[in-house]
């Protein structure tokens, strides 16, 4: 992604489409989603965006978490 914040638009598009199509999203490293997207200017992460969609739009998620996480 060439611009800071472009990932936010992309994530919103993916989550909206998943909700619209009633798809289940698979994540193999759930804890790392709360690190992905952080920058020196923002603490916003993919996990924080996803949480909003889980609470409001009814997206279903299947996630893997290891004991090391």
The tens digit of pLDDT for each residue in 14-54 reads 999 998 998 899 999 888 888 888 888 888 999 999 998 88
Domain ranges of the chain: 6-63
**pTM (2 decimals)?**
0.78
Cα 31–Cα 6–Cα 1 angle in degrees, nearest 5: 85
Higher-confidence residue of 28 and 68: namely: 28
pLDDT the model gives residue 1? 52
Q: Which of 63, 54, 49, 59 is nearest to 20 (CA)?
A: 59
Task: Compute the distance between CA of residue 9 and CA of residue 14 in angstroms, rounded to an integer.
Answer: 9
């Amino acid at each position: 992604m060439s611009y800071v914040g472009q990932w936010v638009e992309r994530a919103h598009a993916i989550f909206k489409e998943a909700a619209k199509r009633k798809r289940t999203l698979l994540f193999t490293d759930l804890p790392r989603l709360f690190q992905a997207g952080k920058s020196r200017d923002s603490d916003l992460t993919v996990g924080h965006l996803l949480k909003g969609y889980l609470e409001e739009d009814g997206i279903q998620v299947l996630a893997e978490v290891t004991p090391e996480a």
